[in-house]
Amino acid sequence: MSKLNIGIILGSTRQGRLSPQVGEWVKNIADQRGDANYEIVDIADYKLPLLGEEDATEQATAWNTKLASLDGFVFIVQEYNHSISASLKNALDYAREAWNDKAAGIVSYGSVGGARAAEHLRGILGELSVADVRVHPALSLFTDFENPFTPEMAFKPADLHLVNLNGMLDQVLAWSGALKTLR
């Protein structure tokens, strides 16, 4: 059987964002497993305007084509005002069928592990028929990053997160494989 395609979606687009560092960490660990094709999917690359504000047929088509090529997702989620970023919500709103009947895991960060953003995302994923798995690495801005809240802030995750990261990936692969049979 061919390997599943799993997109690691960077949820933030602001200049100076930390999501690429977190996404690379997930991809490195995931690639070492060798059990799926993992790729970083950067929302910023798709230059999606706010939904409906202007004609964005080309960007929307490119975004939907990328999502359609994926069997499952790992969302890199950062907490913005107790929720997900506006750019992630906008990108979620830009597709429907391309999300449906797929699985997702969440890796979040924030002052309390991005927990509130992650729980908001779970509600949205339900509406998009994305099955979000239980295991959830939640990273602290205070203890999983060096030089917190300075321009030199750098991602240095505690080793304990590896267990949850691998547990989350196990669940995403299991459900992505199962849901592929529905599509």
Minimum CB–partner distance for residue 179 and ligand FMN (Å): 28
**Residue whose tokens read 């506006």:** 86
Residue 81 is a binding residue for ligand FMN (CB under 6 A): yes
Minimum CB–partner distance for residue 55 and ligand FMN (Å): 28
Minimum CB–partner distance for residue 147 and ligand FMN (Å): 12
Q: Which of 39, 137, 120 is nearest to 86 (CA)?
A: 120
Task: Mark 114-153 with x for binding to ligand FMN (rule: CB under 6 A) and - for no binding.
Answer: ----------------------------------------
CA dihedral 96, 179, 78, 161 (to 10 degrees): -170
CA pair distance 172, 67, nearest whole angstrom? 16
Minimum CB–partner distance for residue 180 and ligand FMN (Å): 30
Phi, psi of 173 (to 5 degrees): -65, -40
Measured from the CB atom, the residue of 82 and 96 that comes closer to ligand FMN is 82
